[in-house]
Chain A
Amino acid sequence: DTEVTQTPKHLVMGMTNKKSLKCEQHMGHRAMYWYKQKAKKPPELMFVYSYEKLSINESVPSRFSPECPNSSLLNLHLHALQPEDSALYLCASSQEGQENSPLHFGNGTRLTVT
């Protein structure tokens, strides 16, 4: 069982919809991440939160809006997405302050934009 929980598992949305992806972890990790993974490709970093503050934004389009309400929760708000945004969105967490701390991934949300 994964210790990082992502909901929903699947999401289909139109280009004019607004939806949110949710991620929760209870490992006490203070760094949380959003990754995007296209089919047959490696994960690509989108955002990193450190102690609930946005620390890295990999030049992600503004139609993706992250939010970290508290140390256990991470959201990704979606608005006006394009079909090419269809992908597996992975949330991850890690211990802050430990440079070789590995990432703990959720099972992802498979997003389809129609």
Chain B
Amino acid sequence: KQEVTQIPAALSVPEGENLVLNCSFTDSAIYNLQWFRQDPGKGLTSLLLIQSSQREQTSGRLNASLDKSSGRSTLYIAASQPGDSATYLCAVKNQAGTALIFGKGTTLSVSS
């Protein structure tokens, strides 16, 4: 059974710092991997989607990498801002059309 783990569970940084969030999954035979942002009490905002054949995806200050063979992904946030404060969720899809399986998330707090 696929399990997704995110480290650290929480992270506090001053504004301007670059940071890395980690995600690992137990079954490397995934279809794709996706990073989401969730604000308190709110739904999900999709940030980046990486197909199993891809190594990384970039969007603005965000860069997500995927090492499928080792079962790992990282989300890199450059020049963090207070508005980046949220919970970041990593999710994997085992097969096309199946449901995403989520990690517990990393709660990020960026102080000004």
Do A and B assemble together? Answer: no
Residues in chain B within 8 A of chain A (CB atoms)? none
Residues in chain A within 8 A of chain B (CB atoms)? none
